[in-house]
């Protein structure tokens, strides 16, 4: 409550004050008032510029719906993946009608030849009991789904469902619990009881091996406790009490039995502070062969991972970002910095570990155990891989003058910092005064850019995430958000959000804007009202909670997210009477970035909706006289190279014409290779000279 109250006050003072001197802010914010404007409902709407990348009906598809609008408490979870053996795909989500008792796991499948199956009914859950937070994995024997039942007082457990053939047959269900442990606390008198409870699972599969992490049951919150006590209650180990403890499980038979149970990461170096703070979706698993990693984070100041290279038998702690100065109360001047929020991890084909995490600007007052959020300072993502040293918090710091009038953001120049995307043509995201306020409910107090997922292959790194849309695309009290994919071409060393980002939820069904009268960003504050009214938003939906497949299949990825007509504005009561729709699409990696860059969307610029190709036809072939013709099908400049069977170059020519005439009278009879190459595509043909 204190964080919410403080955040609200700061947001209001920042947005309404006209006396502050905003220099070197990370978001180039404008404080000019912009009129809300009006639209003539009877006016003719000019033809909008639709996305070229989305010019295919199979781009996205609605695969499910639910009345439960909280897919995660923290990180995007492993809810979508490909079957490595067939190329089919599956996606799950928290199913439910407006009744709590109906909550469970919904699932849909993308068959290789038939596309997505019909949407299941909102009460058609997998489990026979109430569950939540379902995760799916293909196995060599079929498939496995795990979820928790959300119960307490020794009843909490992980509901496991397996079957030997994915997509069909009966499910075999059981509940996984841990050994009894003592729950205790000293608030208003000592109380103890034994528990075997497990909650909040995360899971990933590799062949028939299933890796699972869940946390022990947490003692229900009661008033009167000391919020600054790092060890107030819960799991007791060697005389020390922990709030929750993450435990690791491994199955070698597709989830039917477990050959490693209750591995405690304290044995591998996870600190006492980390053990107490890791809970409720604040972790993510990735696997490749026998290489397994568990990423874990906390808003209080760390994001690190446990790593196993022997398929989960032994583990080692690896540090990404530990903000040690935030563990204890800070004494002295204020020192803001970026703190981790939602995060993701991936292992590429070279076994390099890739990490990305959302952030928020946070500070701690001297003598106070609380951390506070500067919600009026939007912040983006930070990328890291295991070739880098651990991140120094000073590289992500924000210096603020004592009177709050001057901000210097070091993180904005950090080479692997990704700022918020903007689609209005500016050089960075603008937080307009006429736009929505930051809402702790809407953003779950996690920051601005949330739920990233990361995959990497062939030296390229792809990050998906959700981000807010600027005014006037977001008006009123709450933000609309979009789903974006950003690409790095140099293995994550540099990022250019404005040139390498796709707004993938920009689609007629989800969000569409008529840009016909928009001439681009204006710098004259006096004309901002006119500028805002040139943008006509045709379709608005809220697109949030994205996740990306845990693997790449045939150069394709699977994206999944939730969309609904109104913003996800209040998640304190996640059951709603209006549905949230689950969207998914399978797409080629080469399509990203789908637009030349996102600040040119309003100009209608983009890449073709089909993969760039070049084709060539040679005639006559075999060549029986001294002349052949090469017919080229491309609009790009090309280079023709003719080589003999020894690989020696016989002839080259560059051009743009449709037909090239080539004299082969001096060619030695035999077989030649004719290669036609553009900067986007290539093709080769065999030429026989008699």
Q: DSSP letter for 420, please.
A: P
Grouping H, G, I as helix, E, B as strand and the rest as coil, residue 581 is strand
Cβ-contact 241, 233 below 8 angstroms:
yes
Is pLDDT of 47 > 60? no
SS3 274: helix
pLDDT of 532 > 70? The answer is yes
> Does residue 339 register a pLDDT over 70?
yes
Which domains are delineated in the chain? 2-68+289-603 (no CATH), 615-689 (2.60.40.3080)
- How would you classify residue 289: left for phi > 0, otherwise alpha for psi between -120 and 50, otherwise beta? left
> Which of 464, 490, 420 has its CA nearest to residue 587?
464
Of 122-136, 417-431, 570-584, the range with the lowest mean pLDDT is 570-584
The string over 341-355, giving b where at least 16 C-beta atoms fall within 10 Å of a residue's C-beta and e elsewhere, is bbbbbbbbeeebbbb
Distance from C-alpha of 431 to C-alpha of 492, rounded to nearest angstrom: 27
Task: State whether residue 14 is helix, strand or coil.
Answer: helix
What average pLDDT does the chain have? Answer: 81
Identity of the highest mean pLDDT range in 208-212, 263-267, 301-305, 501-505? 208-212
Question: How much of the chain is in helix, strand and coil states, percent to nearest 5?
Answer: 10, 40, 50
The answer, yes or no, to whether residue 45 has pLDDT greater than 60, is no
Q: Place 38 in a pLDDT band, splitting at 50, 70 and 90.
A: very low
The larger pLDDT score, comparing residue 355 to residue 615, is at: 355
The segment with the largest mean pLDDT, out of 455-459, 625-629, 677-681, is: 455-459
Asked if residue 492 has pLDDT above 60, the reply is yes
Q: Contact at 8 Å (CB) between 452 and 466? A: no
* pLDDT mean over 391-419: 81
Q: CB-based contacts of 546: which residues, under 8 Å, 6+ apart?
A: 76, 451, 453, 464, 465, 466, 483, 559, 560, 561
d(CA 27, CA 35): 21
End-to-end CA distance of the chain: 86
Q: What is the pLDDT of residue 374?
A: 81
Q: What residues does 319 pair with on adjacent strands?
A: 304
User: Which residues, listed in sequence order, are joined to residue 355 by a DSSP beta bridge?
Assistant: 345, 384
Q: Which residue has the higher pLDDT, 34 or 160?
A: 160
Residue 670 in this model has a pLDDT that exceeds 70: yes
- What average pLDDT score do residues 61-72 get? 90
* Residue the block writes with tokens 């952030």: 359
How far apart are the C-alpha atoms of 363 and 404, rounded to whole Å? 13
> Percentage of residues in the chain with pLDDT exceeding 70?
79
3-class SS of residue 566: coil
Question: What mean pLDDT do residues 207-229 have?
Answer: 70
For residue 384, which of 289, 295, 324, 482 has the smallest C-alpha distance? Answer: 295
Cα separation, 304 vs 298, whole angstroms: 9
Residues in a beta bridge with 674: 642, 685
Rounded to the nearest 5 degrees, what angle is found at the Cα of 286, between the Cα atoms of 280 and 287? Answer: 145
Per-residue pLDDT at 14 = 27
Q: Tell me the mean pLDDT in the region 496-521.
A: 86
Query: Is pLDDT at 563 greater than 90 in this prediction?
Result: yes
What's the rounded mean pLDDT across residues 451-471? 95
Residue 31 pLDDT exceeds 50: no
Return the top range by mean pLDDT from 331-335, 528-532, 662-666.
Answer: 662-666
Distance CA 514, CA 508 (A): 11
Q: Quote the CA–CA distance of 586 and 82 in Å, as a whole number.
A: 10
Question: Which of the four pLDDT bands, split at 50, 70 and 90, describes residue 382?
Answer: very high
What is the pLDDT, as a whole number, of residue 12?
A: 28
The secondary structure of residue 576, as a DSSP letter, is: E
* Residue 406, pLDDT score: 62
Residue 282 contacts residue 297 (beta carbons within 8 Å): yes
pLDDT at 1 > cutoff 50: no
* Kind plus residue range of the DSSP H or E element containing 452: strand 450-457
Alpha helices, DSSP H, located in 547-667: none
Lowest mean pLDDT among 68-82, 176-190, 481-495: 176-190
Q: Tell me, what's the pLDDT at 37?
A: 27
Determine the average pLDDT of the residues in 67-82. Answer: 93
Question: Is the CB of residue 438 less than 8 Å from the CB of residue 27?
Answer: no
pLDDT at 653: 93
């Amino acid at each position: 409550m204190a964080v919410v109250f403080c955040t609200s006050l700061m947001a209001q003072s920042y947005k309404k004050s006209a006396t502050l001197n905003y220099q070197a802010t990370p978001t180039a914010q404008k404080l000019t008032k912009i009129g809300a404007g009006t639209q003539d409902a009877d006016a003719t709407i000019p033809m909008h510029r639709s996305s070229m990348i989305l010019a295919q009906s199979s781009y996205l598809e609605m695969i499910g719906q639910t009345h439960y609008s909280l897919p995660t408490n923290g990180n995007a979870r492993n809810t979508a993946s490909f079957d490595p053996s067939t190329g089919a795909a599956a996606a799950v989500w928290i199913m439910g009608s407006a009744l709590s008792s109906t909550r469970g796991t919904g699932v849909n499948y993308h068959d290789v030849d038939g596309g997505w199956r019909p949407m299941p009914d909102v009460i058609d859950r997998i489990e026979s009991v109430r569950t939540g937070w379902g995760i799916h994995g293909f196995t060599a024997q079929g498939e496995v789904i795990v979820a928790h039942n959300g119960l307490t007082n020794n009843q909490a457990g992980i509901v496991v469902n397996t079957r030997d053939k994915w997509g069909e047959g009966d499910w075999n269900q059981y509940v996984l619990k841990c050994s009894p442990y003592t729950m205790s606390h000293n608030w208003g008198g000592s109380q103890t009881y034994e528990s075997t409870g497990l909650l909040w699972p995360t899971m990933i599969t590799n062949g028939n091996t299933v890796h699972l992490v869940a946390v022990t049951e947490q003692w229900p919150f009661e008033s009167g406790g000391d919020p600054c006590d790092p060890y107030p209650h819960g799991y007791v180990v060697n005389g020390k009490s922990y709030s929750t403890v993450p435990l690791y499980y491994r199955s070698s038979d597709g989830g039917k039995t477990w050959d490693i149970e209750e591995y405690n990461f304290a044995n591998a170096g996870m600190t006492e502070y980390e053990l107490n703070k890791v809970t409720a979706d604040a972790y993510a698993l990735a696997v490749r062969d026998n290489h397994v990693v568990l990423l874990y984070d906390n808003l209080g100041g760390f994001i690190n991972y446990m790593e196993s290279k022997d398929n989960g038998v032994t583990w080692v702690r690896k540090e990404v970002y530990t903000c040690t100065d935030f563990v204890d109360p800070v004494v002295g001047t204020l020192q803001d910095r970026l703190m981790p929020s939602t995060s993701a991890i991936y292992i590429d084909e070279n076994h390099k570990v890739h990490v990305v995490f959302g952030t928020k600007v946070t500070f701690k007052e001297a003598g106070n155990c609380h951390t506070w959020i500067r919600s009026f300072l939007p912040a983006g993502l930070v990328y890291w891989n295991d070739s880098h040293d651990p991140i120094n918090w000073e590289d992500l710091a924000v210096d603020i003058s004592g009177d709050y009038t001057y901000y210097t953001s070091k993180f904005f120049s950090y080479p692997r910092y990704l700022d918020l995307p903007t689609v209005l043509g500016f050089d960075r995201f603008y937080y307009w005064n006429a736009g929505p306020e930051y809402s702790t409910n809407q953003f779950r107090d996690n920051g601005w850019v949330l739920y990233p997922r990361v995959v990497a292959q062939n030296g390229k790194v792809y990050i998906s995430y959700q981000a807010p849309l600027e005014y006037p695309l977001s008006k009123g009290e709450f933000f609309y958000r979009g789903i974006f994919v950003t690409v790095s071409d140099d293995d994550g060393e540099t990022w250019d959000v404005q040139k390498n980002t796709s707004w993938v939820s920009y689609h007629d069904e989800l969000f569409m804007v008529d840009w016909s009268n928009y001439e681009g960003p204006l710098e004259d504050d006096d004309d901002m009202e006119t500028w805002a009214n040139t943008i006509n938003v045709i379709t608005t939906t809220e697109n949030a909670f994205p996740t990306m497949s845990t693997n790449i299949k045939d150069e394709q990825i699977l994206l999944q997210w939730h969309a609904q007509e109104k913003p996800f504005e209040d998640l304190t009561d996640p059951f709603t009477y209006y549905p949230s729709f689950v969207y998914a699409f399978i797409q080629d990696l080469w399509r990203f970035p789908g637009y030349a860059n996102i600040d040119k969307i309003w100009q209608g610029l983009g890449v073709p909706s089909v993969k760039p190709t070049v084709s060539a036809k040679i005639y006559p072939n075999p060549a029986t006289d001294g002349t052949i013709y090469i017919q080229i099908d491309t609009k790009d400049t090309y280079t023709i190279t003719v080589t003999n069977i020894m690989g020696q170059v016989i002839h080259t020519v560059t051009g743009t014409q449709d037909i090239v005439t080539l004299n082969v009278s001096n060619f030695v009879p035999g077989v030649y290779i004719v290669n036609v190459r553009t900067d986007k595509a290539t093709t080769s043909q065999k030429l026989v000279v008699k």
